[in-house]
Amino acid sequence: MPARVEHLFEVFDRLIAIKNACSSEIFSECGLADITVKQIAYLKAINEHHDVTFSRLAEITRNSKPTITEMVNRFVRMECAYRQRSPDDGRIVYIRLTEKGRMMANAEQNALNRMVEKMVRSLDEKEVDLLIEILKKVG
């Protein structure tokens, strides 16, 4: 592998490591350093689908209702979610995210934002403009 390509791999590996460190910071700030990828996926699903019920979340994630109930109970204990009865029909229970749950659901985007902020602080204006132009070419 040519040295130039190898160097590019190293640079991108470093960028990924920075993003992962930012994600870890967010998880630690929420007190959930040991959260799993699957749990984050469930939090994202709850966040993306407003007024999501246990049955609907089971459909979305292709899981059984008992599995969803167990996961939601865990989220409640983690202070990431809570149950809210429908004001129109008391038999319907919605799964809602707390601020902490929303932060976890959006951790990937928030980590990317932090990484970009670090890059902007590290580069001068011309370097940022050059980076934007270069990345536009490949994307």
pLDDT in tens, 76-111: 999 999 999 999 998 999 999 999 999 999 988 888
Residues 45 and 84 in one domain: yes
Total of domains in the chain: 2
Residues 46 and 89 in one domain: yes
Residues 75 and 111 in one domain: no
Residues 30 and 40 in one domain: no
DSSP the chain: --HHHHHHHHHHHHHHHHHHHHHHHHHHHTT-TT--HHHHHHHHHHHHSTT-BHHHHHHHHT--HHHHHHHHHHHHHTTSEEEEE-SS-TT-EEEEE-HHHHHHHTHHHHHHHHHHHHHHHHS-HHHHHHHHHHHHHH-
What integer is the mean pLDDT of 13-31? 86
Residues 133 and 78 in one domain: no
Residues 47 and 86 in one domain: yes
Does the pLDDT at position 50 exceed 90? Answer: no
The range of the structural domain enclosing residue 61 comes to 36-105
pLDDT in tens, 121-132: 999 999 999 989
